[in-house]
Amino acid sequence: VKPVAAAYVEAVLPHVTAQVRAMIRVQELAGMRPQDVRNMRTCDLDMSGDVWVYTPWTHKTEHHGHIRRIAIGPRAQAILWPFLKPDDTTAYVFSPKEAVAAERSERARHRKTPRTPSERAQRRKQKPKRAPGDQYTKTGYESAIRRACKKAGVPHWSPNRLRHNCGTIIRKKHGVEGAAAVLGNSLGMVVEVYAESNFELAIKIMREMG
């Protein structure tokens, strides 16, 4: 899996919702897999230190008995902060339902004239689409990026490649060991990333770069 060109990532950002934009940014900064950012809940985040620790409630290697931890640095924290749910910590941080509600609110705010009764009646008659859910699905997240790529006129890229953008940047500054500590066993690197010493290195790197 190859990284996504930075220009292609930037090109899609104006064409996605605030939620998807944040998901892309956080995924790239923290080296997360798409399912990590989709599954994130406030209760899964330890925010007691200057670098947050995210322990996904489900992850790719759980059947091996490992507990996976992801270090989240200050830049990613700033992006996440507006989406956290301290009053409902088990709710997903990024919600399609909230994205749709925000878009509707924004459109209503910019509407120059109120809808007429006939327009409101016509809208009610239209066949409703499937209501957005509380969590982004794999297909939903990928489709949002695909549509944005088309609007931006750039080649389609999938969110699983964003993790490798992070790895490439870290490897240039901190070598293979640093990239492996943050990403885990990917990019052809075989390192025991669950060891405490490796996670301490991930914390150090994310404090500086994440």
Residue 104 scores a pLDDT above 80: no
Residue 195 scores a pLDDT above 70: no
Share of the chain above pLDDT 90, in %: 60
Domains of the chain are: 6-106+132-209 (1.10.443.10)
Average pLDDT over residues 157-180: 91
Residue 57 scores a pLDDT above 90: no
pLDDT reported for residue 129: 58
Q: What is the pLDDT of residues 11-56, one digit of tens each?
A: 999 999 999 999 999 999 999 999 999 999 999 999 999 999 999 9
pLDDT reported for residue 128: 47
Residue 105 scores a pLDDT above 90: no
pLDDT reported for residue 176: 86
Residue 185 scores a pLDDT above 60: no
Residue 103 scores a pLDDT above 70: no
Average pLDDT over residues 130-157: 92
| Confidence band, pLDDT 50/70/90 cuts, at residue 189 | very low
pLDDT reported for residue 100: 77
Task: Return all residues near 202 (Cβ < 8 A) that are at least 6 apart.
Answer: 71, 181, 182, 193
Q: Determine which helix (DSSP H) or strand (DSSP E) holds 122, and give its type and residue range.
A: helix 117-125
Distance, CA of 65 to CA of 126 (rounded, Å): 49
Q: Determine which helix (DSSP H) or strand (DSSP E) holds 45, and give its type and residue range.
A: strand 45-46
Distance, CA of 87 to CA of 153 (rounded, Å): 40
Average of per-residue pLDDT values in the chain: 84
Distance, CA of 40 to CA of 58 (rounded, Å): 10
C-alpha closest to that of 98 among 159, 20, 33, 36: 20
